Structure 1
Amino acid sequence: MSDPRPSLLAPKAQQALLNAALPPELGFEPTLRSHDAAPPERSRLRVLQLNLGKLCNMQCSHCHVDAGPHQGHTQMGDAVVEACIAAIDRLRPEVLDLTGGAPELHPRFRDLIRAARERNCHVIDRCNLTVLLLPALGDLVGFLAEHQVEIVASLPQPEESSTNAQRGEGTWEASIEALRRLNANGYGQGDSARQLTLMSNPCGTQLQQLTPCDEVRWKAELQDQAGVSFDRLIGLNNMPIARFLQQLQADGHVNCYLKLIQGAFNPGALSGLMCRDTLSVAADGSLYDCDFNQMLDLPLRGGARIDAIGLEQWMDQPIRWGNHCFGCTAGQGSSCAGATA
């Protein structure tokens, strides 16, 4: 069946565009060699990350997943959900990381949380905040607090104008209301069982450069402006994938951005990359080193799936690289847990 998406959003077209944006000698693997840096190898499996589908109540300009309200057909099926629960028993990850789209919109979202917590697995919900205001999810914040789910919430900037510019008009006000509800249920109060992490990404082609002083500033501004609090601030670079890559191409900035992140390559960021300790599961049960490889259709070699993968088989698979990996190794580094260097 042909891919119904515009050609730019087809993974193979994205790969070709990224490969052509830099001369071969500046590609990711040659850059590793020029810094006498060996490609990172797997450590131990710590995180099982499930992409429950691309359905989302928002459609943000920087999204590397191409998520949106039109993506309801991409949701993870029941058989794969059950295979993921069985994999928790088999692989014994410390963390179950639920992402999307908006993972909260998946009908088995709560089942996965219950199953993980029954197995003493820490759970992360990667939340866009605004989804918590949907009437059908009115009791969700209480459920998340009861099951001690960590919230990693997207909030690009601590100001209304820049947040709305990146994520849509009205996003700021909705995000603040969601933060108030989370605070009222014990999040953002210094309780390690109900941790609230805000995840920022820069505007356009800037690199993320957060410092401890930025976290202090964010906390002060959000408290002064809206009376809300959070526990921790992390930052991610914008990944040249899907919707952000499409915008770069429309602006004629693909080559410039790839040169920027290649020139900012930091060998110190390699040790903290998520691909070293994370197994990423797509909605169809196929497996990847990370969510970014998943969006570029770069699966684990050998065709392993979540219903059969074992730890030894995962360890034996080499990590797959590409020029998009500069996004995770530029500047402070950038991974699902924030800076890596």
Structure 2
Amino acid sequence: MHQPLLSSLFPPLWRGPLSTLQVNLGYRCNQACSHCHVNAGPTRTEMMDPATLALIPPVLAARGLACLDLTGGAPELHPQFRELVVAARRLGVEVIDRCNLTILSEPGQHDLAPFLANQGVTVVASLPCYSADNVDRQRGSGVFTRSIAALQQLNGLGYGQPGSGLQLHLVYNPQGPTLPPPQAQLEAEYKRVLAADFGVVFNSLYALANMPIQRFASWLQAQGKLESYRALLQAQHRPDHLAQVMCRSLISVDWQGWLFDCDFNQQLGLAAAEPGQPRRHLRELLERDPEGDPIAVADHCFGCTAGGGSSCGGALQAS
């Protein structure tokens, strides 16, 4: 694990009003992508236990949250994934499923896509390129073909179609130690190619920078590019992004229920607690509003403010 020291270089941040609870349901995944900052894969066994998962709907209600953002690993592999989705939707909360697409064709998941559509779940789907060679190189052999089939299935259920209300967003990650190109320009190219070649439509593209942590950091280090990539992120820092970074309105929960300021801090063990204070648990949100809390920052945070910016909802600056 590439754990940074808390940095004096990145500006201090404090949380604003909380709108989103992002929950990592576990690290088990049917893929093992080279850029994965979670080090997820088929051999991981960590999963949120039922008692911790049962806290999520009451927290959503207690804090009046608008969104439950489910991630992993492949969050759909948690045995209570569907139960949790139904409970959150009954509260009127938007549910985001961070979906790797190939999960839709895994054994036992034949009815997953119809379930997501029936519940009105927003699907945020990983597709790091519209080229088969690039996707398979980053995510594994055959992943591109399976991903396109999954997108076509989702389109058939109404996802990405005008007037359906079913939101389908794609996620782009660069192949190496570079910043994403302008999001609007890349989105237009994705829409053109996917529609022409595969008849696939979607709502929007999220262009995300790769964080120099975990599996991607190990790859960069092996290539001798880790320090140069960190320097690039810092050099491209834009202070105007600080008002929009995701940690100001989102709090991240790991599979054990511990609170973090974002998913990246979660993987680095930087808890959502003031230095020297005990780490905080999901159950505390039943009684305590975290607005105004200081946010733990370190050098990797430049990945969210470099260039066009990067967040769970894509670039922070229109381009």
Deviations 1:79-101 (A, max 9, x none): 01001122112112100000000
Aligned equivalent of 1:318: 294
Q: Does 1:202 align with 2:174?
A: yes
Q: Which amino acid aligns with 2:196?
A: D
Equivalent in 25, 35, 51 of residue 52 of structure 1: 25
Q: Does 1:308 align with 2:284?
A: yes
| Residues 311 and 277 of structure 1: CA distance in aligned 2, closer, same or farther (over 3 Å) | farther
Deviations 1:10-69 (A, max 9, x none): xxxx12xx45xxxxxxx953354xxxxxx3322211101110011000000000000000
Q: Does 1:66 align with 2:45?
A: no
Residue aligned with 1:188, SS: coil
Determine the C-alpha separation between the residues in 1 that align with 2:57 and 2:10: 39
Determine the C-alpha separation between the residues in 1 that align with 2:162 and 2:17: 29
TM-superposed CA distance for 1:192, in Å, is 6.0
Q: Does 1:180 align with 2:152?
A: yes
Residue aligned with 1:194, SS: coil
Deviations 1:208-234 (A, max 9, x none): 123423212111101111111111111
Gaps of 5+ in 2: none
Determine the C-alpha separation between the residues in 2 that align with 1:79 and 1:157: 39
TM-superposed CA distance for 1:267, in Å, is 0.9
| Residues 86 and 31 of structure 1: CA distance in aligned 2, closer, same or farther (over 3 Å) | closer
Aligned equivalent of 1:339: 315
Q: Is the 1:130–1:178 contact (alpha carbons within 8 Å) kept by the matching residues of 2?
A: yes
Q: Which amino acid aligns with 1:112?
A: L
Alignment coverage as a number of residue pairs:
313
Deviations 1:261-288 (A, max 9, x none): 1111111221111110011111101001
| Residues 321 and 338 of structure 1: CA distance in aligned 2, closer, same or farther (over 3 Å) | same
1:219-298 counterparts in 2 under 5 A? 219-298=191-270
Determine the C-alpha separation between the residues in 2 that align with 1:249 and 1:154: 24
Determine the C-alpha separation between the residues in 1 that align with 2:128 and 2:8: 31
Determine the C-alpha separation between the residues in 2 that align with 1:70 and 1:331: 35
Residue aligned with 1:228, SS: coil
Residue aligned with 1:314, SS: coil
Q: Which amino acid aligns with 1:153?
A: A
TM-score by length of 1: 0.89
Residue aligned with 2:165, SS: helix
Residue aligned with 1:136, SS: coil
Runs of 4+ residues over 4 Å off in structure 1: 310-313
Q: Is the 1:45–1:311 contact (alpha carbons within 8 Å) kept by the matching residues of 2?
A: no
Aligned equivalent of 1:212: 184
Residue aligned with 2:304, SS: helix
Determine the C-alpha separation between the residues in 1 that align with 2:74 and 2:95: 15
Q: Which amino acid aligns with 1:250?
A: A
TM-superposed CA distance for 1:296, in Å, is 0.3
TM-superposed CA distance for 1:313, in Å, is 4.5
Equivalent in 188, 193, 196 of residue 165 of structure 2: 193
Gaps of 5+ in 1: 1-8, 20-26, 33-38
Q: Does 1:29 align with 2:1?
A: no
Determine the C-alpha separation between the residues in 1 that align with 2:234 and 2:298: 12
Determine the C-alpha separation between the residues in 1 that align with 2:14 and 2:243: 9
Q: Which amino acid aligns with 2:39?
A: D
Q: Is the 1:280–1:291 contact (alpha carbons within 8 Å) kept by the matching residues of 2?
A: yes
Determine the C-alpha separation between the residues in 2 that align with 1:114 and 1:31: 39
Determine the C-alpha separation between the residues in 2 that align with 1:158 and 1:191: 25
Q: Does 1:108 align with 2:80?
A: yes
Higher mean Cα deviation, 196-205 or 157-166?
157-166
Q: Which amino acid aligns with 1:335?
A: S
Determine the C-alpha separation between the residues in 2 that align with 1:103 and 1:200: 19
Question: What is the root-mean-square deviation in Å for CA atoms of aligned residues?
Answer: 1.5
Q: Does 1:82 align with 2:61?
A: no
Determine the C-alpha separation between the residues in 2 that align with 1:75 and 1:115: 19
Determine the C-alpha separation between the residues in 2 that align with 1:305 and 1:176: 39
Q: Percent identity?
A: 44
TM-superposed CA distance for 1:309, in Å, is 2.3
Higher mean Cα deviation, 301-310 or 134-143?
301-310
Q: Which amino acid aligns with 2:255?
A: A
Aligned equivalent of 1:97: 69
Deviations 1:115-160 (A, max 9, x none): 1110000010000000011130101111100111000000001111
Residue aligned with 2:186, SS: helix
Q: Is the 1:52–1:100 contact (alpha carbons within 8 Å) kept by the matching residues of 2?
A: yes
Q: Is the 2:10–2:301 contact (alpha carbons within 8 Å) kept by the matching residues of 1?
A: no
Q: Does 1:41 align with 2:17?
A: no
